[in-house]
Amino acid sequence: MQEHHEDSDLLVILRHGPHGSSWLKEGLDAALVAAALGRRVALLFMGEGVTALMPKQQVGPLGQKGTAATLEMLEMYDIETLLVEEQGLSCLGLSSGELMLDVTCLSPEALARVLTTHRLVLTF
């Protein structure tokens, strides 16, 4: 029997850091819009996307602001499921305690399970 995640029906995967492209901002915007429309949203930070959760972000080379302000809005939109790829975290030499928000670290097995239990998945 397939396990079904009742807690969220949209998984937004964020694979890009805050600087160098607008992918991360667009992904967060999509998550906020979906949540505003009543969807239950989970965010998954993978690879470079994990850097979005680092505190004290500087303005990027092109003047892009960090994503801290948007991340602080997640709670207002009831986006509480924040998942981080364990591998991405360790590649950056970080622990989940060093991040701005409370996250759930996913092992490769847990990650595979999360990816199969969501009906809708958007990747940015």
4 domain-assigned: no
Which residue segment(s) compose the domain that 73 sits in? 10-123
Mean pLDDT, rounded, for 38-61: 85
Instruction: State the virtual CA torsion across 66, 110, 80, 44 in degrees, nearest 10.
Output: 30
Side chain identity at residue 22, one-letter code: S
Q: What is the CATH number of the domain that holds 108?
A: 3.40.1260.10
How far is it between the farthest Cα atoms of the chain?
49
Q: What is the pLDDT of residues 51-90, one digit of tens each?
A: 999 887 666 555 556 677 888 889 999 999 999 999 989 9
pTM of the model: 0.86
2 domain-assigned: no
1 domain-assigned: no
Number of structural domains in the chain: 1
Mean pLDDT, rounded, for 18-41: 92
